[in-house]
Structures are given as structure tokens and as C-alpha cells.
């Protein structure tokens, strides 16, 4: 009889622990980057499951691999649905982890989704102020970054390539503002009717966590992951010196004033390892998954 009581008590304790885990950790949504897919996110998924057993995890299998090179606005509806469905099941809020190009898609969704319930947005080496670097992985683009603008800004099909939609050439800023139909729009650098509402939605976030580093090897400049970019001399213009920050185009300055922006510059991490590195996870991702 005593042994049966111990079994029952142990079972109840285990059940209580599991329920506590389910209630204690907010659901997490993970968004993959360019030229990879949901499968590649299993490293990050595994680290979360080990650290926070019972966490509800959603990793949408949307626009994986070469399909990720397609126009971002064409990808947007499917990504929106996948994230909205996951959020609607999490009544007490969610945390969103977005890798590389996926971080731009996440920001677009958060700005345009009036009823999002994301509390912490974690951006893993995501080119939030665009890309001006290697394009060898996109066959239709020139190998020289100084010539890419000719395709991205001056051809009828340029903005049908995802990279071109956030290609930010410091030598051709007027053309970037005129042609970029994704990044310039999301930054409210080009006129659009919903800018006030998009800013309001972005400001619902409690924290924006930005990870990047000098050994990334893909995001160029790597400081774009911290909302910085190049000037015409290829010097870094830090986030607080950016026009989008100074004039608070989409809420960066307001979030900063709340203490809600958190930047981490980590050396020694290659671009494909941000979602696999245990040290990165322990220091800069796990603390926000509450």
C-alpha cells in the first residue's frame, strides 16, 4: 500500500512539473533564413527543449531552400498565416526567433499584424539595414557588389529576387529608396499609407534582441544585424546615427528609450552557426525565453 502511494505521489509530482513547464515558458516560434529550411533549425529546437522541457515550439516549413530566393512580398502571405496560426494558440504571448533573411520577414509581419502577441523578438544575424556584400549564391546577380545595383534597382525583375529587396548600396541611395519595395518600405524610408499603424504594431514588442559578429562572413556589413550600415566611404554608420533611428521612423528610438533594444556582438561565429552554437544560445537567447 505504501509503495502504491509513493508511485501515485511520484506520478502527481511529475505531472505537476510538466504542467509547470508548459505554463512557465511562453511558446517559441522559429523562422529559418535564406537557402535553408525548418530542418536546419533542429539544433536550436533541441537546445530549447533541453533547457525548457515542455515549451511549445513551432518551426514553419515555409519557402525553404531555393524558394527562399523568391520575392519576399510573394512569400509574405504564407509566412503571415503560419505565424498568426501559432500566435493564436498562445493566449499568454509568444517569443519569436528569426534567423538571417527570416528576421526581415519577421519584422514585416510584426509591423503589419495588428493583433500579434510577440513579446521578445530575437534576431540572429539578420540584415536589418540591408546587405552590401557577397552575392555568389544568387546566380542571376553580378559577382561584384558594386554592380549588383544594376540588376536590383534598374531592371524590371530585380525586385522579384529577395536579396534585391533589401540590397542597400551606399553609393546609390536615391535608387535604393526609389526601388527597394521591401526594406525601404518596412523602414518607412519611402512613403506608404500605413506607416503610423506599422510603427504602432512594432512598438508592442517588449524586447528586440540583436545578435551578430565580425566573423559572420555573410551579412555585410555584419553590423547590419544591429541596424547599422555603410556610408559612401564604407565606414559604419551606427544605429543611433541612422535617419530611421533619429526620426524614429518605425519605433527604434522609442524602444531604445524604454531599454528594450539589446545588441550582442560575438566574435568567432560563422553565419551558419548562430542557431547551432551552445554558447550563443546560453548567453544571448535562453535568457529571453521566459
Inter-residue contact 214 to 265 (CB < 8 Å): yes
Q: Which of 68, 100, 179, 260 is catalytic?
A: 100
Q: What's the first-to-final CA gap in the chain, in angstroms? A: 40
Is 216 part of the annotated catalytic residue set? Answer: yes
Structure letter (DSSP) for residue 241: G
Q: Which of 116, 172, 271, 275 is catalytic?
A: 271
CA 192, 120, 58: angle at the middle one, nearest 5? 95
Is 100 part of the annotated catalytic residue set? Answer: yes
Closest CA to 35 of 76, 64, 75: 64
Q: 157 — phi, psi (to 5°)?
A: -105, -5
**Rounded to whole angstroms, how far apart are CA atoms 211 and 209?**
7
Within the chain, strands assigned E span 28-31, 57-58, 94-99, 118-124, 207-212, 229-230, 236-237, 261-265
Structure letter (DSSP) for residue 286: G
Is 275 part of the annotated catalytic residue set? Answer: no
Q: Which of 216, 225, 226, 275 is catalytic?
A: 216
Closest CA to 226 of 119, 128, 130, 99: 128
Q: Just list the catalytic residues.
A: 100, 216, 271
Amino acid at each position: 500500500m505504501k509503495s502504491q502511494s509513493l508511485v501515485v505521489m511520484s506520478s502527481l509530482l511529475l505531472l505537476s512539473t510538466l504542467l509547470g513547464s508548459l505554463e512557465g515558458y511562453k511558446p517559441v516560434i522559429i523562422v529559418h533564413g535564406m537557402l535553408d529550411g525548418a530542418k536546419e533549425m533542429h539544433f536550436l529546437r533541441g537546445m530549447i527543449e533541453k533547457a525548457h522541457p515542455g515549451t511549445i515550439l513551432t518551426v514553419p516549413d515555409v519557402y525553404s531552400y531555393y524558394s527562399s530566393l523568391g520575392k519576399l512580398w510573394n512569400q509574405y502571405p504564407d509566412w503571415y498565416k503560419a505565424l498568426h496560426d501559432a500566435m493564436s494558440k498562445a493566449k499568454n504571448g509568444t517569443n519569436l526567433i528569426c534567423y538571417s533573411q527570416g528576421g526581415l520577414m519577421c519584422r514585416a509581419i510584426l509591423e503589419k499584424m495588428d493583433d500579434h502577441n510577440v513579446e521578445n523578438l530575437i534576431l540572429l544575424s539578420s540584415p536589418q539595414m540591408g546587405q552590401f556584400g557577397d552575392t555568389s549564391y544568387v546566380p542571376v546577380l553580378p559577382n561584384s557588389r558594386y554592380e549588383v545595383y544594376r540588376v536590383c534597382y534598374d531592371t524590371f525583375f530585380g525586385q522579384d529576387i529577395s536579396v534585391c529587396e533589401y540590397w542597400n548600396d551606399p553609393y546609390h541611395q536615391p535608387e535604393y529608396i526609389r526601388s527597394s519595395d521591401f526594406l525601404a518600405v518596412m523602414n518607412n524610408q519611402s512613403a506608404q499609407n500605413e506607416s503610423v499603424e506599422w510603427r504602432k504594431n512594432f512598438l508592442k514588442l517588449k524586447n528586440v534582441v540583436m545578435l551578430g559578429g565580425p566573423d559572420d562572413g555573410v551579412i555585410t556589413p555584419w553590423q547590419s544585424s544591429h541596424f547599422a550600415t555603410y556610408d559612401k566611404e564604407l565606414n559604419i554608420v551606427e544605429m543611433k546615427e541612422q535617419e530611421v533611428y533619429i526620426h524614429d521612423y518605425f519605433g527604434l528610438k522609442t524602444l531604445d528609450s524604454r531599454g528594450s533594444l539589446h545588441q550582442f556582438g560575438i566574435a568567432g561565429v560563422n553565419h551558419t552557426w548562430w542557431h547551432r552554437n551552445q554558447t550563443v544560445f546560453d548567453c544571448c537567447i535562453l535568457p529571453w525565453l521566459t
